[in-house]
Structure formats: C-alpha cells, structure tokens
C-alpha cells in the first residue's frame, strides 16, 4: 500500500493532491512559491521523508546509465518485468559489492 508520494514541484497541482488524499496517500510535494503562505506549506513537509525522493532518483539514474534507458518490450506487463529485472540486478550487484 502506498502511504506517501514524494514528487518535485512539477507535480504541484491541488487536484492531484486532493486525489492522493482521497486515496489515503500523503502527498510530499513542495509547493511552487507564489505567495508567502507557500513557504509555510513547504516548511511543514518532513525533510527526512521528502529527501528519500533524491535517493530514488539517484538509483534510477544509475540504473539508466548502467543498463540503458530504453525499454525494449512493447506490452506494458513485459516493460514492467524488464524494469523490475533491471532493479533486481542492480540490487544483487550492490549486495555483492558489500
């Protein structure tokens, strides 16, 4: 179950936030600053949870550089399998290094 969703300011949309909340998902999306109260909204976001977003983006970047950014399968379920397999191979490589 998805408990929270961390995203960058590009996903700052009230409709999107409301849909997430309706599904019981906590949005961790920084507000674009148009007014002083947007600074207050951003200050209330838990930095430890929000910073996990940058860790995920780093891992995605490493996987794309190591195994390529293109997905070769055409059907969505095969694309999903291909992505999961690349992530599993990355995890095995990391475990072997340690």
Contact residues for 88 (Cβ-Cβ < 8 A; gap 6+): none
- Which pLDDT score, from 0 to 100, does residue 4 have? 92
Segment 23-50, tens digit of pLDDT: 999 999 999 889 999 899 999 998 888 8
Contact 27, 17 (CB under 8 A): yes
Radius of gyration of the chain (CA): 17
Segment 55-80, tens digit of pLDDT: 888 999 999 999 999 999 999 999 99
Q: What is the pTM of this model?
A: 0.62
Q: Residue 8's pLDDT band (boundaries 50, 70, 90)? A: confident
Count of Cβ atoms closer than 10 Å to residue 6 Cβ = 21
- Which pLDDT score, from 0 to 100, does residue 43 have? 92
The tokens of 45 are what?
A: 């976001």
In this predicted structure, the answer to whether residue 87 has a pLDDT above a threshold of 90 is: yes
* 74 SS3 class: coil
Q: What are phi and psi of 69, to 5 degrees?
A: -95, -10
């Amino acid at each position: 179950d998805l408990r929270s969703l961390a995203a960058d300011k590009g996903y700052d949309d009230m409709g999107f936030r409301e849909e997430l909340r309706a599904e019981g998902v906590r949005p961790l999306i920084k507000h674009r600053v148009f007014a002083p109260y947007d600074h207050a909204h951003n200050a209330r976001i838990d930095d430890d949870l929000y910073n996990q977003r940058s860790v995920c983006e780093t891992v995605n970047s490493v996987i794309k550089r190591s195994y390529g950014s293109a997905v070769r399968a055409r059907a969505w379920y095969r694309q999903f399998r291909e992505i999961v397999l690349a992530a599993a191979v990355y995890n095995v490589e990391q475990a072997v290094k340690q």
